Structure 1
Amino acid sequence: MRIWFKSWQDNHLLHDLVIEDNSEETRTHKIFNAVDKACYEFDTSKPVWLDSTIREFKRHGKARFTKDNFVDEIPFDYLEIHVLDED
């Protein structure tokens, strides 16, 4: 599984990162682990998965984490996650 993370500010791409996970973990665990790694790399707190975020992710294989998904202040407008391919 490969997951692409992008942070955006004022419609400009600030950072992007592709995380690949070929482990035997479940799809959900792979996604959560990738989010943890991306947040560490982007030096930001982990987002909260709101119901609307979960629905968007299930429907499209991608989602946006905005200020509403974070407890702390974030140095960007939103964090985007997109599943590029799965095993």
Structure 2
Amino acid sequence: MRLYGRIIKGKKILKEAVAENNEAIPYNDALERCLIGVCKELDVQVPMWLKNNTSEFVNYKRTFFREEHFVEAIKFDKLEIRAE
């Protein structure tokens, strides 16, 4: 699995990162490891994964995390992740 992440403020992309996991593990575990890897590369905290994120990711292979997904304050509008 390969997961792309980018930090967006307004209409501007501030940072991008990629994380990959090729281990023979369940999809959920690979997704979690890649999300943690992307967040580490982007130097942001790992967001809370909510029900709407699951729906978006299943249907579109993409989801967004906004301020309500983070415990601490963020300095950007959203974190987007997408799988390929």
The structural deviation recorded for 1:82 is 0.4
Matches within 5 A, 1:1-87: 1-84=1-84
Q: TM-score, normalised by structure 1?
A: 0.89
CA distance in 1, matches of 2:10, 2:45: 20
Aligned Cα root-mean-square deviation (Å):
1.0
The runs of at least 4 consecutive aligned structure 1 residues that moved more than 6 Å come to none
Q: TM-score, normalised by structure 2?
A: 0.92
CA distance in 1, matches of 2:23, 2:9: 32
The structural deviation recorded for 1:36 is 0.8
The structural deviation recorded for 1:75 is 2.0
Per-residue CA distance 1:53-80 (angstroms, 9 max, x = gap)? 1111111111001111111111211010
Give the paired residue count: 84
Question: Please, which runs of 5 or more residues in structure 1 have no aligned partner?
Answer: none
Report SS of the residue matched to 2:74.
Answer: coil
